[in-house]
Amino acid sequence: MEIRDLTPDDQDALLDVRRRSFGPVPPAEVESWRALAVPDLNEGRYLGVFDGGRLAGSARVRGFTQWWHGRPQPLAGVAGVTVNPEYRGRGVGTAVMRAAVGRATDLGDAVSALYPATTPLYRATGYEHAGAQHLVTIPTEALRAIKPAGDVPVRRMDAGDAAEVVALLHRLHGQARASGPISWDERTWARRLAREDDFLYLAPDGYAVYRWDGDRMRVDNLVAGSQETARALWSLVGSASSVAKTVTAVLAPDDPVRWLLRERSVEEVTMVRWMFRVIDVAAAVERRGFPAGATLDTTVEVEDPVRPGNTGRWRLTVSGGRGEAKALSADAGAGAGPALRINGLSALYAGIPTATLRRTGLLSGDNSHDEALDTAFAAQPYMLDYF
């Protein structure tokens, strides 16, 4: 079998394997799918496994920005991992995932994430469960009861506002010290903001993207940097209460709307899990944000069967909101510290507590720095977007 970049000439074969893996693509969506795929095909972000001239499997490495404790960095979003039915069980999925990790490295990404259809394949290539997309069902009348505070200018937005939305996300996720959310690039945002059936509103420090979903409303994105803007945008969504009885909203775990509601008891929440991987230990730690008051100085032993450059002993230090991972030689005099496979390090990076990692076998060895590790990497990761 051969692994190579896919090109626009491979679109028919790619669409066929996608259909056999995920089900039929509605005719109305085919042209849109082709248009969205072309830029990634031209940029070397689609990989295919071929058996002779037949496409056996594929993967897409999408380019995003992701925030960790308020600091943005490039993210390799792996999507569209497909294997034709006649090639399943023959290592095609593992081969294309290893190639995707390698391509992410070539593109300069130090971290990667994906939404898994199955866990074992991705764990075998170093990914571990980290966060979720939270879909919360709220009575529309409860949102209507959120009264605006102050005069917040809100206007309709369109594709021409893509750059402003990207800049706004950088500012708001940074201010909130958010961990996990992603942003599409300006080109993709322009396409999203051109969709006719979405309701799109922009304020000076926030925006909302929502639409009808059957007989209810669906809020895909609503981000606000102040109480006044949060009230204005959620009240706007709630204005549909005479027709739509409920709203399904994609929310951060600590989204302010949960505290703006007059009543809150039993909540209907669906979580769509995503997995995460550190691809380059040194760059990932250097690019991550950390709590300003956290301090850490420990040695860890990392094993990464897919990326040998990550395997070995590392000195992890955190101070003043910045971190560093420095590779140590085999004969370095530093004492033995905790040991992790890359899956465990990835989960730690995403804020999974050391106690959880130890009880699941993802972390072993010296525990004297566990509390400092928890403080430094503390996070409640989430995503608003599915890819």
3-state secondary structure of 326: strand
Q: Looking at the structure, do residues 294 and 174 belong to the same domain, yes or no? A: no
250 and 159 inside one domain: yes
In DSSP notation, 299-368 reads: EEEEE-SS-GGG-EEEEEEEETTEEEEEEE-TT--PPP-EEEEHHHHHHHHTT--HHHHHHTTS-EE--T
292 and 267 within one domain:
no
Q: Per-residue b/e over 207-216, b at no fewer than 16 CB within 10 Å?
A: bbbbeeeeeb
Same domain, 109 and 153: no
Query: What pLDDT does residue 336 have?
Result: 72
386 domain residue, yes or no = no
pLDDT at 335: 63
Token look-up 């990932």 returns 284
pLDDT at 370: 98
pLDDT at 81: 97
Instruction: Indicate which CATH number applies to the domain containing 28.
Output: 3.40.630.30
327 and 349 in a common domain: yes
351 within domain boundaries: yes
**Structure tokens given for 106:** 């070539």
| Domain match, 144 and 222 both | yes
Choose one of 272, 307, 328: the last residue of a domain.
272
Which pLDDT does position 279 carry in this prediction? 98
The answer to whether residue 381 sits within a structural domain is no
Residue ending a domain, among 102, 126, 150, is 126
Residue keyed to tokens 């992890």: 316
Residues 95 and 182 in one domain: no
The tally of domains found in the chain comes to 3
> Which residues share a beta bridge with 268?
137
Q: Which domain holds residue 331?
A: 280-376
* Same domain for 54 and 78: yes
Residue 79 to residues 12, 18, 28, 45, 386: CA-CA distances in angstroms? 18, 11, 21, 10, 10
pLDDT at 37: 92
- Show which of 78, 94, 126 is a domain's final residue: 126
Q: Are residues 193 and 74 in the same domain?
A: no
**143 and 208 housed in the same domain:** yes
Q: What was the pLDDT predicted at 138?
A: 96
Residue 181 maps to a domain = yes
Task: Give CA angle at 353 (347, 359), nearest 5°.
Answer: 90
Residues 291 and 267 in one domain: no
Instruction: Tell me whether residue 385 is in a domain.
Output: no
Domain assignment present for residue 383? The answer is: no
CA distance 234 to 238: 6
Same domain, 217 and 268: yes
Per-residue pLDDT of the chain (387 residues; tens, 9 = 90+): 999 999 999 999 999 999 999 999 898 889 888 988 999 999 999 999 999 999 999 999 999 999 999 999 999 999 999 999 999 999 999 999 999 999 999 999 999 999 999 999 999 999 999 999 999 999 999 999 999 988 999 999 999 999 999 999 999 999 999 999 999 999 999 999 999 999 999 999 999 999 999 999 999 999 999 999 999 999 999 999 999 999 999 999 999 999 999 999 889 999 999 999 999 999 999 999 999 999 999 999 999 999 999 999 999 999 999 999 999 997 766 567 899 999 999 999 999 999 999 999 999 999 999 999 999 999 999 999 999
**Quick check: is 266 in a domain?**
yes
Residue 219 covered by a domain: yes
